[in-house]
């Protein structure tokens, strides 16, 4: 087994698009070697880099769990949340910036029957 991987081999090894790998190379995140115009990756360094990425995901996961625990401490009234969401959705069509539905925008006059 070869210790150094090409971009195609690394893409297959990690199941990641080549364009994503190139972006990580350009940003300097992903450890790599340049041989002329070729880019090579040492498998052991890539494995360590992937492990370091694992910790970032674990931090996000733990923060999400803290938020969910905080939300669940109070009583959760699902009916109230649903009713508020429906009312908010209905109210979006009649917000002040859009004007009333029976208002002629150019003339700023209301029409009695809603038509011109």
At 6 the three-state DSSP class reads coil
Q: Is the pLDDT of residue 64 over 60?
A: yes
Q: Is the pLDDT of residue 58 over 90?
A: no
| pLDDT at 111 (0 to 100) | 57
Domain residue limits, the chain: 4-83
* Greater model confidence, 85 or 71: 85
| pLDDT at 15 (0 to 100) | 93
Read off the pLDDT of residues 8-48 as tens digits, 9 standing for 90 and up: 999 999 999 999 999 999 999 999 999 999 999 999 999 99
Read off the pLDDT of residues 82-108 as tens digits, 9 standing for 90 and up: 777 777 777 655 555 555 555 555 555
Question: What is the Cα–Cα distance from 13 to 53, expressed in whole angstroms?
Answer: 16
Q: Is the pLDDT of residue 116 over 70?
A: no
| CA nearest to 38, candidates 70, 79, 14, 10 | 10
Question: What is the Cα–Cα distance from 46 to 31, expressed in whole angstroms?
Answer: 7
Q: Which residue has the tokens 């923060």?
A: 63
| pLDDT at 63 (0 to 100) | 65
Question: What is the Cα–Cα distance from 29 to 25, expressed in whole angstroms?
Answer: 6
């Amino acid at each position: 087994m070869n210790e150094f991987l090409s971009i195609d081999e690394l893409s297959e090894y990690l199941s990641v698009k080549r364009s994503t790998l190139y972006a990580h190379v350009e940003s300097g995140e992903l450890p790599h070697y340049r041989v002329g115009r070729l880019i090579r990756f040492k498998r052991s360094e890539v494995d360590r880099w992937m492990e370091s990425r694992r910790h970032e995901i674990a931090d996000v996961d733990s923060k999400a769990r803290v938020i969910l625990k905080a939300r669940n401490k109070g009583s959760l009234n699902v009916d109230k949340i649903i009713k508020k969401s429906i009312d908010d959705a209905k109210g979006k069509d009649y917000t002040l910036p859009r004007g009333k539905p029976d208002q002629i925008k150019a003339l700023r006059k209301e029409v009695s029957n809603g038509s011109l």
